[in-house]
Amino acid sequence: MMETFLKVLPQSIQAAFLVLAFLLYTESQNRRRWSIALLCGVFSAFLTGFFMSFLPLPGEFISSHKGWTFWRYLWEISLLYAGMSMALLKGPRRPGPRFSVMLFFIAGWGIFFFDARDAGFLVHDIGLMNGRTLAAVTGGVAGILAGFLPLLLIFVLKRKESFRSIFTLHNLLVFGGAWLVAFGGVGSLEEGNLMAWLQQGMGAFLSGLISYIQEVLILSPHPFLRVPFTGVAGFLSGERMAMTLVVIFMFAPVLTVLTILFAKPDPQVHQIMVRAERRLQIAFFRKDLVAKSIPLLLSFFILVVMLHASNISVNPLYDPPPMPVRAEGDPPSISLQLTDRFGDFTDGRLRKYVYFRGDREVVFLAILKPDGSVGVALDQCEVCRPAEWNRNAQGYAQRGSHLVCKYCMTPIALDTINNPGGCNPIPVPFSMEEDRIVIELQDLISTFDAAEKMEKKGAHL
């Protein structure tokens, strides 16, 4: 019972805070019907979402997590863009009172439905595993009720003018969308992130579109024949372009509403004869402007954090453990197969090796560069070396098409591997023999010793 209580509690708390924000808005507008519609929506979301997992549902798409993740993302985007659309709508096109009530019901339902479904799924699962479904459900319901306790804050906050004036419909919807992007329901089951999903989708769309157009224009890429506009096509279908478009897409609602807010002119006060009253009016207007921008700036901050998280999830740091190697032959040399049981160098992934020289470990790396040649270097740099207690931060990891110095996080273009200097890894002489990289042991040792000597001189930072 306690397990389900604790599992469900965070889901309902995060929904409760959003419901609280919506209630603050409806109370500030003195629209009791909107508040009731919102709470009815939340309650119906609880009924439908929480108990959904206990019902047999037809169809893989309706009951699969992939399907639910899709609908959840769509809902988050819709909420973000609803705020922008409302801000762009003018005058008579604004929704009427009945439509508004319906919209608040839908908003309330959407705020909690995915969390409730998530909670219901977990409770159902835990109940089945423990064979105590009733206790699990009781714990889950108690968790939801406890999670919604922050809603009681409304009685305190609605009396405070500074809180009442924070939300407009536009910034509320944008804030709601951003909040759900950060804390939304089903994502906690799949550790999903809307931005990562969008970036992958946008990348697939752009690369598909560009290669389709190239094919239609008879300009498909070729391994060695020059094809016009291949560089442009590569740029347009690259990850950076996808990321740029996703950033524009995600930040457009926040920035649009913020721009509209700040584009409001100061109030016309020339008809007021008392100067102090003029200043008071302008001061009140500006204070109000700042208050209303808080949810938008908060949304902006949330989206920036999510963008960073998405970047990391799409492009995580790849830091493989070093594989031990031995020197053989006369003169002794280390031979690395381009294709071995760990895969093929053409996968473009970083490989690390360690040669044990007495009690010292000589760690070096090898990677295939974009021009098709191989780069081999020590897993340390000339410039920075972490202190003894921070030894794990020594060396390099791979992120996308760059190596990254784990100490100073400087990205290093793969083309520049084998070039000495700066934060680049210290190059190790090697030669290619058919499908092998051959490193003379003497070269490896002398390079390593030179790096160690530099360390003793204190040349490192």
Partner 1 sequence: MRRCFEIFSSWWLSALLAGGFASVFMVMDDFRAFMDYLLSKPLGVLLYLVLILNLCLISIRIGVRNLRKVLPERESPEGMTAYCNISSPPSQDAILRLGERLGFRSSPPSGDTVVLTRGRFSFLPGMFLRIGLVLALGGLMVSFHYREAGERTLHEGDTFSFRGMNGVVGRIRPDLPAEFLQIGGKGAFRVERVALELRLDDRGMEADNGLPAYAEGGYFRVSGFGFSHELIIKKEGGLRKRMVDAAVLPPGKTAVIPFTEEDMLITLSMEPLKKIKKGLLTGNLYRFDDIRYRMVLQSGRKKDIKQVHIVTPGTPVNISPSSLSAERGDMEIILGPLSYFVRLSMVYDPGIPLIVSGLLMFLTGLALMPARFFWYLRRLLWVKTGSGLMIGYESEFYRKWAIQKFHNIRIDLFSAPERSSSESCDGKAD
Residues that bind partner 1 in the complex, under the rule CB under 8 A: 70, 74, 81, 85, 90, 201, 204-205, 207-209, 211-213, 216-220, 222-228, 260, 262-265, 268, 270, 338, 345-346, 368-369, 371-374, 418, 427, 429-433
The single-letter code of the amino acid at 66 is: K
- Smallest separation (angstroms) from partner 1 to the CB of 268: 7
Tokens (6 digits) for 10: 């965070």
- Smallest separation (angstroms) from partner 1 to the CB of 277: 19
- Smallest separation (angstroms) from partner 1 to the CB of 453: 20
Burial class (CB in 10 A: 0-12, 13-18, 19+), 36: middle
CB-nearer residue toward partner 1: 133 or 419: 419
- Smallest separation (angstroms) from partner 1 to the CB of 88: 9
Chain center to CA of 335: 41
CB-nearer residue toward partner 1: 103 or 137: 103
How many other CB atoms sit within 10 Å of the CB of residue 392? 10
- Smallest separation (angstroms) from partner 1 to the CB of 35: 28
The single-letter code of the amino acid at 457 is: K
Taking the C-alpha atoms of residue 39 and residue 338, their distance in angstroms, rounded to an integer, is 63
Taking the C-alpha atoms of residue 377 and residue 90, their distance in angstroms, rounded to an integer, is 62
- Smallest separation (angstroms) from partner 1 to the CB of 143: 33
CB-nearer residue toward partner 1: 63 or 138: 63
Task: Count CA atoms within 13 Å of residue 446 on its CB side.
Answer: 8
Q: Is 222 left (phi over 0), alpha (psi -120 to 50) or beta?
A: beta
Alpha helices in 29-49 (DSSP H): 32-45
CB-nearer residue toward partner 1: 119 or 334: 334
Question: Element (H or E) spanning 435, and its range?
Answer: none
Q: Give 221's contacts (C-beta < 8 A, 6+ positions apart).
A: 214, 227, 230, 233
CB-nearer residue toward partner 1: 61 or 318: 61
CB-nearer residue toward partner 1: 132 or 369: 369
CB-nearer residue toward partner 1: 213 or 445: 213
- Smallest separation (angstroms) from partner 1 to the CB of 163: 26
Could you give the C-alpha distances from 217 to 201, 204, 209, 228, in angstroms and in order? 24, 20, 12, 11
- Smallest separation (angstroms) from partner 1 to the CB of 261: 11
Q: Is 220 left (phi over 0), alpha (psi -120 to 50) or beta?
A: beta
- Smallest separation (angstroms) from partner 1 to the CB of 205: 6
* Residues paired with residue 432 on neighbouring β-strands, in sequence order: 437
CB-nearer residue toward partner 1: 198 or 405: 198
Taking the C-alpha atoms of residue 54 and residue 67, their distance in angstroms, rounded to an integer, is 18
CB-nearer residue toward partner 1: 7 or 351: 351
Coil, helix or strand at residue 401 = coil
Question: What is the gyration radius of the CA atoms in the chain, in angstroms?
Answer: 29
Contact 354, 339 (CB under 8 A): no
